[in-house]
Amino acid sequence: MNRVPSGIPGLDDLIEGGFPESSSVLLSGGAGTGKSIFCMQYLYYGAKTLNEPGVYITLEEGPHNLWWNTQRFKWDLLPLEQKNLLRIYKFEPAKDNRDDLEEQTARIIEKAKSINAKRLVIDSITAFSFWMNDPAKLRYSVYLLIEELRKLKCTSILTCETDGGKNSVSRFGVEEFLSDGVIQLHFVPPHRSIIVRKMRGTNHDKRVHPWEITEQGVSVNAQEEILWESLKD
Ligand SMILES: Nc1ncnc2c1ncn2[C@@H]1O[C@H](COP(=O)(O)OP(=O)(O)OP(=O)(O)O)[C@@H](O)[C@H]1O
Ligand SMILES: [Mg+2]
């Protein structure tokens, strides 16, 4: 199996070298746990270091957060965009028609195809529910999206907003079954932590590890451990 390096120092040590190629990984966590920064670093690393084209689709967050992060972490995105190695799109669920999730899925696939993306981020999959009120249809659409991305050999991260509790992995209770991997981020002030809950085809690490956001971006401390009991319910 080919592995896709995450670009997050320390993380690949927990997952046998990287994400399984063509997999879709759910990145879940409460507000401000670092989901968006994690995702942009994943794409930036792929584009800058490995020449792998990446697409970032943001659904709810304004581009200002992306811009702040770009400045703080000194990610020079423009040359990558010019070389077709990076594309950032803002989809507006609230403005677009509801109940047209299939159309939105097709739009995402089209964006990925347009630069032959090897990496893709949807931030967040939770906001997909704007387009679909029926949970059964939502499940089917997310399933289809993941299968289409797999066909493109596109390794994807789907962020998921939770209430931040240690046992809440997703919002609708289905996302974690559809995805090939689940990574959970926690923030119990002042400590940030990360745990791999699932990674298909991988003998992944089972412990909670500290991780941090610094001026250099995000990184995982694969040696140190945080007790599960210390996380909030
Ligand atoms: N330069 C920095 N140095 C240290 N920490 C930072 C820096 N920039 C941002 N942060 C931390 O990262 C957090 C935001 O990260 P991010 O936007 O990735 O979170 P998120 O999980 O996507 O949040 P949301 O749920 O709002 O989408 C901030 O609240 C702050 O704690
Ligand atoms: Mg975010």
Mean pLDDT of the 203-222 span: 97
Asked if 40 contacts 75 with a C-beta cutoff of 8 angstroms, the reply is yes
d(CA 61, CA 151): 28
Output the CA 123–ligand 2 centroid distance in Å: 7
Please report, for residues 65, 128, 144, the alpha-carbon distance to residue 102 in angstroms, rounded to integers and kept in the order given. 28, 11, 9
From the alpha carbon of 40, which atom of ligand 1 is closest? Answer: 18
Asked if 150 contacts 24 with a C-beta cutoff of 8 angstroms, the reply is yes
Mean pLDDT of the 142-147 span: 93
**97, pLDDT greater than 60:** no
Domains of the chain by start residue, with CATH: 22-186 (3.40.50.300)
**126, pLDDT greater than 60:** yes
**99, pLDDT greater than 80:** no
Asked if 184 contacts 33 with a C-beta cutoff of 8 angstroms, the reply is no
**130, pLDDT greater than 90:** no
CB-based pocket (< 6 A), ligand 1: 29, 31-37, 61, 65, 72, 161, 213-215
Output the CA 34–ligand 2 centroid distance in Å: 7
Strand, coil or helix: 185: strand
Q: What is the pTM of this model?
A: 0.96
Output the CA 201–ligand 1 centroid distance in Å: 30
The tens digit of pLDDT for each residue in 35-84 reads 999 999 999 999 999 999 999 999 877 778 888 888 899 999 999 999 99
pLDDT at 30: 96
pLDDT at 95: 60
The tens digit of pLDDT for each residue in 162-180 reads 999 999 999 888 899 999 9
When mean pLDDT is compared across 45-49, 120-124, 139-143, the lowest value belongs to 139-143
Atom 23 of ligand 1, nearest CA residue: 32
pLDDT at 208: 98
Mean pLDDT, the chain, integer: 93
Residue type, 49: T
Atom 5 of ligand 1, nearest CA residue: 213
**94, pLDDT greater than 70:** no
pLDDT at 4: 98
Q: What's the longest Cα–Cα distance across the chain?
A: 47
Count of other CB atoms within 10 angstroms of residue 8? 21
pLDDT at 96: 55
